Amino acid sequence: MLTLAAFIVALGLLIAVHEWGHYRMAVACGVRVLRFAIGFGKPLLRWQARNSPTEFTLAAFPLGGYVKMLDEREAPVPTHERHLAFNTQPLRSRIAIVAAGPLANLLLAVLLYAVVNWIGVQLPAAILASPEAGSIAARAGVVGGERVARAGFADDELQDLASFEDLRWLITQGALEKRDLRLLLAGAVRTGRGEIVLKLSGLEVSEVDADLFRKIGIAAPFSQAVIGQLVAGGVADKAGLRPGDVVRQVGAVPVFDGQQLRQLIRASAASAEAPALAWKIHRGPGELEITVKPDRAPDGAAFIGRIGAYVGAMPESVLVRYGALDGLWRGALHAWDVSVLTLKMMGKMLIGEASLKNLSGPLTIADYAGKSAGMGLTQYLLFLALISVSLGVLNLLPLPVLDGGHLMYYLWEAITGKPVSEVWTERLQRGGVAMLGVMMAIAIFNDINRLFG
């Protein structure tokens, strides 16, 4: 129920803001707006302010919306009202009206990111976990427990990191842009090194997912190797492990953190039945030894070990909060960075450098809406901001039937001095609908595989 409610609220808000952008700009340009509609199907609400030409409607299915303006291409317009029609407006006004919808979504994202910055949010500290053997981080010398104070790309100035999420964002950018990332470490007791370089420039990236971060070796923040909640009757329960046990050693391998312990458990049954190994456990004031034999469970085409318990303590967290102007400025910068990264990912998918599996549809969005809402207000606001950026960027693409397609027509008109012919407009619209249909089909297919595969 929470997932459905969070999804409907998200879609309704983002669509309303998008259409409100079109509506307000149309009114500002002197165009008569006949209807402002949110949703499809039979209207649930319908109202019209006194002395206003605009009818506002809210329908049952908030999966879209539209702003209907006076336009000679849709219905006859009296001569004395031609100056109020959309199609009679100067080119600059038509461009402004069409662009206002996507820009409203981008401005909403800036505001949402700013609100999160003002409220403040508890995020994991930028402390590195033990990387997988052979990963980029492992080759760079990361062993786990290092706190990253500052980071930056090879040719850029280093910037302070407020949290592990800041680091994850820089890693994502570096992987997609093939740029090496410099990390300035504080408290690198085990490595004894003050600065390392993650060689991301040689990384082939097709999908931004958990596998990518495992290849890089920075998948999660540092957490202690503590046993959490147990599955009744599971391996850990039967072996005698208890919540709060701190694992010091598995077989002959010393354990330093939760990430390393999870890797050892997963890898234990990768190629054969997992062996029974002696675990050294710190419990209360003393230590003891417990024999644990992980189950072998399928994980896609491979097999992994599992013990039926949550592994790893909650990572150290920091409160990230900014003042009024700094929070707004950082919100604008983050919205810009997400927009640029979204465009780059779309470009990579277009030329085949990134997998089409990165496309997400309504099922994944609904799933994330419910999960983020369940995690609290700030996480839900961050989710809304991300989807708002995506909606704004998507609508600015030069694809017929989208706002960007209409802007493409206006660019042609600005260059040639005449509008695109009706014949070509119809052909391009059909092609745009077909392309959009293919994209939606791929996105829904990805959703089904992701959620039910």
Give the residue numbers annotated as catalytic, written as ranges: 19
Distances (CA, A) of 241 to 250, 255, 257, 291, 427: 13, 16, 17, 9, 67
From the list 295, 412, 388, 370, the residue with the least C-alpha distance to 102 is 388
Q: What is the 3-state secondary structure (H, E, C) of the chain?
A: CHHHHHHHHHHHHHHHHHHHHHHHHHHHCCCCEEEEEEEEEEEEEEECCCCCCCEEEEEEEEEEEEEEECCCCCCCCCHHHHHHCHHHCCHHHHHHHHHHHHHHHHHHHHHHHHHHHHHCEEEECCEECCCCCCCHHHHHCCCCCCEEEEEEECCCCCEECCCHHHHHHHHHHHHHHCCCEEEEEECCCCCCCCEEEECCCCCCCCCCCHHHHHHHCCCCECCCCEEEEECCCCHHHHHCCCCCCEEEEECCEECCCHHHHHHHHHHCCCCCCCCCEEEEEEECCEEEEEEECCEEEEECCEEEEECCEEECCCCCEEEECCCHHHHHHHHHHHHHHHHHHHHHHHHHHHCCCCCHHHCCCHHHHHHHHHHHHHHCHHHHHHHHHHHHHHHHHHHCCCCCCCHHHHHHHHHHHHHHCCCCCHHHHHHHHHHHHHHHHHHHHHHHHHHHHHHHC
